[in-house]
Amino acid sequence: MTESVRLIKTLLKRSHEHRRRRRWPWIVLGCFLVIIGIATTVYLVSTAPLREAKADAFEVAQKEKNIVSVSDFYYYNGIKDKYSVIVGPNNKKQETAVFVPRGVKGKYANKTISYLMKDGITKEKAIEIVEKEKSPSKILTTHLGMDEGTPIWEISYRKADGTLNYLEINFITGSWYRQINNL
């Protein structure tokens, strides 16, 4: 009897250990799924205002400037003015930039302005100007925006010494509009 009791105890112990070993992969998978769920939620919540601004700007661009789709979207926060910029083809298949004001005061408040992209310099040309004239170590961002009625490319970059700099280039002429250095 003692032999059979020992055998039963051994089998129960092995069975318990086996169940415990089978649980770990499920626990790890569960933790991984929880982390993925949290990260996805944080991402969706943090990008919701940008998605809403894009949708609102596209709606305005469709109604007022006949834009049929979005090729690019820029969220510009300038010194004085804030714009959502939709770039896309209009109903005549011409690539157009539509500047939809957000919190703009003064004579440009509530004025949606558009330019044909062929009438201004390209994003690549604006970056080329910065690279030629400022020799940045890294281009960080390039945004299409508008400042007091002037359409601009705002380019942020780092110099070799690590300082943050901005150069704004007039979209129409390709000339410097404003620069902010050594931040």
Q: What is 120-183's CATH number? A: 3.10.450.40
Q: pLDDT by residue (tens digit) across 94-106? A: 999 999 998 766 6
Q: pLDDT by residue (tens digit) across 85-141? A: 999 999 999 999 999 998 766 666 678 999 999 999 999 999 999 999 888 999 999
User: Cβ(145)–Cβ(136) under 8 Å?
Assistant: no
For the segment 143-152, the average pLDDT, to the nearest whole number, is 92
Domain residue ranges in the chain: 1-116, 120-183
- Residues ≥6 apart with Cβ < 8 Å to 146: 76, 78, 81, 83, 85, 99, 108, 113, 152
Q: What is 1-116's CATH number? A: 3.10.450.40
Q: What is the pTM of this model?
A: 0.76
